Amino acid sequence: MRLTILGCYSATPRSLTNPTSQVLEIKNHIFLIDCGEGTQVQLRKSKVKFSRIKHIFISHLHGDHFFGLPGLISTFRLLGREKELHVYGPKGIKEAITLLLKLGDSWTNYPLHFHELNSKETELVFEDESVTVSTIPLDHRVYTNGFLFREKLAQRNLDINAVKQYKIDKSQFNNIKAGKDIVLEDGEIVKNELLTFDPPKPKSYAFCSDTAYKESIIPLIKNADLLYHESTFLESEKHLAPKTKHSTALEAASIAKKANVGQLILGHYSTRYKSIELFKEEAKAVFENVDLADDGAIFDF
């Protein structure tokens, strides 16, 4: 699993910083998470193949989180895309995007599917044989969701030496990897645990976009391997957090600690501060394993 930060600063783009957008590589998927202005350029810089993006998840309809989407959808058309594209986001996103495409007479020549969200409870929005994606309801000035990405438990790994020892035919390999016991020709039953190794522990990533401090998300992200949580302010500006429905670095660290996540990544920094290292210093007073998002940063886990 690999997370690439395309942009992680709040409000307006600057010459050296970009608003929120991320790419998550998981089980042969490339998921785009939020799509602020400049996302296309950042995708180019990160050498992400546009054609591999089939699912885009938008947290909310503030410009710094989705104003890059109309341009990206249009670029896909110019590149001759044929594969379908799925966009998951708040109710209204279809109207916003389709109006722009209609006015510009530039409707896509590939299937474009919108999955509009309006539930205030967590819900499963994507699932295939290897990955699930669920919403994390957040508390912001407009309807907002984070997203929880989870790997499914993989098949068990064959112990080749054990399989040879019992002289088991290759035709049984898929059954063994699926967890089944094997009956030999003489009627002996060989337990699956004698023929396999446990698969790797499934990984999970929780993306918590713009939100006020909200403890009700803790059960949803409990034990996640990696948590990205917005930290717009430092404690010196804590009085601004409730008004704007944002969080401080200390609050993000508190959520990480209470949810027992493996690692916390801070982002969505206000540009009023001279150094983002200040966010890390504050968060580490509560939660030790803290990293800082920055444009172009890559996290493997």
107 and 235 housed in the same domain = yes
93 and 128 housed in the same domain = yes
Q: Which two tokens stand for residue 63?
A: 């410009």
Mean pLDDT by 10 residues, the chain (301 residues): 97 87 97 97 96 98 97 96 98 97 93 98 98 98 98 93 91 92 92 92 97 98 98 97 97 98 98 96 98 97 88
Of 197, 225, 248, the residue that ends a domain is: 197
Q: Cα 267 vs. chain centroid, distance in angstroms?
A: 14
140 and 267 housed in the same domain = yes
Tell me whether residue 65 is annotated as binding.
Answer: yes
In angstroms, the CA 246 to CA 225 distance is 23
Tell me whether residue 86 is annotated as binding.
Answer: no
Half-sphere exposure of 194 (CA within 13 A, CB side): 12
40 and 100 housed in the same domain = yes
**Cβ burial 150-174 (10 Å sphere, 16+ → b, else e):** bbeeeebeeeeebbeeeebeeebee
Please state the pTM of the whole predicted model.
Answer: 0.92
Of 131, 165, 197, the residue that ends a domain is: 197
Q: Which two tokens stand for residue 193?
A: 């645990």
124 and 171 housed in the same domain = no
Active site residues: 64
Tell me whether residue 225 is annotated as binding.
Answer: no
Tell me whether residue 60 is annotated as binding.
Answer: yes
Sequence-distant (6+) residues with CB within 8 A of 115 are 86, 87, 88, 89, 125
**Cβ burial 71-85 (10 Å sphere, 16+ → b, else e):** ebbbebeeeebeeeb
Instruction: Find the CATH number of the domain harbouring 58.
Output: 3.60.15.10
Q: Which two tokens stand for residue 134?
A: 């669920």
271 and 224 housed in the same domain = yes
259 and 217 housed in the same domain = yes
Tell me whether residue 268 is annotated as binding.
Answer: yes
Q: Which two tokens stand for residue 167?
A: 């002289």
pLDDT computed for residue 29 by the predictor: 97
Tell me whether residue 55 is annotated as binding.
Answer: no
pLDDT computed for residue 90 by the predictor: 98
Q: How many residues does the chain have?
A: 301
Look at the chain and report how many structural domains it folds into. Answer: 2
Half-sphere exposure of 253 (CA within 13 A, CB side): 20
170 and 242 housed in the same domain = no
pLDDT computed for residue 92 by the predictor: 98
The boundaries of the domain holding residue 211 are 2-154+200-300
Read out DSSP for 263-282?
Answer: EEEEE-B-TTSS-THHHHHH
182 and 253 housed in the same domain = no
110 and 171 housed in the same domain = no
In angstroms, the CA 70 to CA 114 distance is 13
27 and 48 housed in the same domain = yes
Nearest to 294 by CA among 272, 281, 284, 279: 279
143 and 255 housed in the same domain = yes
Contact present, 145 and 137 (Cβ < 8 Å):
yes
Tell me whether residue 291 is annotated as binding.
Answer: no
Contact present, 12 and 23 (Cβ < 8 Å):
no
Q: Which helix (H) or strand (E) holds 299?
A: strand 298-300
